[in-house]
């Protein structure tokens, strides 16, 4: 049921960390995969996908700008033979930790644009290329549920908005057989996000808070994406799937 042979996927922010793991996992399951990137080198992930015998290409994209998204999505669909069956909205980030009383307008809008507007722009651009029965997967965050760490109010707000976008879009696209779900990772190690923004003591505390007693890794998230993109998940839509090792229960 997790065979994605013949499916065509677009992963935004797919050159590093969780996005890279998702792109490779989709290719291992049989999909052709296009990735977008902004600052990270996409060559290694493209090479890995091609070594798996799948078609791949990369396009630089600033997902905060709708005109850039529209152009790149059209190029991605062309590279994939004219259509996109699976969209993974992975582009996003914390940007920086800022307390609300110190936060300026620019930071607020930058975080929301990077995480929420980017998902809206990409989804809107992909839908004309997506056949009925397609899959949209958002990469949300545990922060949407627990508020995140110190200085993460803007990020937590953005990811909570993404969860609402997921549920609303699931209702809108349900008649076309397109499912829309989100994955909410907890602490995932070996990613640029935590290497940049989370001090070592906070990382140790995050691991200690999990029921399973370990940090997550990008492949934990990637496996969940493959499941939601597969036929096994065809009756799941509007769901927020927690991938946090039991650090938080709804």
CATH assignment of the domain containing 42: 3.40.50.720
Domain contains 1: no
Centroid of chain to Cα 11: 7
CA dist., res. 116 & res. 77, Å (int): 22
Domain contains 248: no
Would strands 240-243 and 179-185 be described as parallel, antiparallel, or unpaired?
Answer: parallel
* Known catalytic residue at 155: yes
Q: What is the pTM of this model?
A: 0.95
pLDDT above 90 covers a percentage of the chain that reads: 89
Domain contains 2: no
Domain contains 245: no
Domain contains 246: no
Among the listed residues 237, 246, 79, 68, the one whose alpha carbon sits nearest the alpha carbon of residue 169: 237
CA dist., res. 243 & res. 150, Å (int): 21
Instruction: Please tell me what DSSP assigns to residue 233.
Output: G
Model confidence over 169-210: pLDDT tens digits? Answer: 999 999 999 999 999 999 998 776 666 667 778 788 888 889
Domain count, the chain: 1
The predicted structure's pLDDT at residue 208: 86
The residue from 155, 165, 193, 227 that is catalytic is 155
Domain contains 250: no
Name the strand (E) or helix (H) holding 86.
strand 86-89
Name the strand (E) or helix (H) holding 47.
helix 43-51
The predicted structure's pLDDT at residue 63: 97
Q: Which domain holds residue 121?
A: 8-240
Model confidence over 105-143: pLDDT tens digits? Answer: 999 999 999 999 999 999 999 999 999 999 999 999 999
At residue 113, φ and ψ (nearest 5 deg) are -65, -40
Domain contains 249: no
Between the CA of residue 138 and those of 104, 124, 233, 237, what are the distances in Å?
Answer: 27, 13, 15, 12
Among the listed residues 157, 146, 15, 11, the one whose alpha carbon sits nearest the alpha carbon of residue 86: 11
């Amino acid at each position: 049921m997790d065979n994605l042979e013949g499916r065509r996927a677009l992963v935004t922010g797919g050159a590093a960390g969780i996005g890279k793991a998702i792109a490779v996992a989709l290719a291992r399951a049989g999909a052709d995969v296009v990735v977008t990137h902004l600052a990270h080198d996409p060559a290694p992930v493209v090479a890995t996908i091609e070594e798996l015998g799948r078609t791949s290409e990369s396009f630089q994209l600033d997902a905060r700008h709708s005109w850039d998204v529209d152009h790149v999505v059209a190029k991605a669909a062309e590279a994939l033979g004219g259509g996109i069956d699976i969209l993974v909205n992975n582009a996003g980030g914390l940007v920086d930790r800022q307390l609300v009383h110190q936060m300026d307008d620019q930071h607020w809008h930058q975080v929301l644009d990077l995480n929420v507007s980017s998902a809206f722009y990409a989804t809107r651009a992909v839908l004309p290329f997506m056949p009925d029965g397609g899959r949209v997967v958002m990469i949300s965050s545990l922060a949407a549920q627990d508020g995140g760490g110190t200085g993460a109010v803007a990020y937590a707000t953005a990811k909570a908005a993404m969860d609402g976008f997921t549920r609303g879009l699931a209702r809108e696209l349900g008649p076309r057989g397109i499912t829309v779900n989100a994955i909410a990772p907890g602490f995932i190690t070996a990613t640029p996000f935590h290497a940049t923004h989370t001090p070592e003591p906070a990382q140790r505390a995050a691991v200690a808070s999990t029921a399973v007693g370990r940090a997550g890794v990008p492949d934990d998230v990637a496996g969940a994406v493959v499941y939601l993109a597969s036929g096994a998940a065809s009756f799941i839509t509007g769901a927020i799937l927690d991938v946090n090792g039991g650090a938080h229960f709804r």
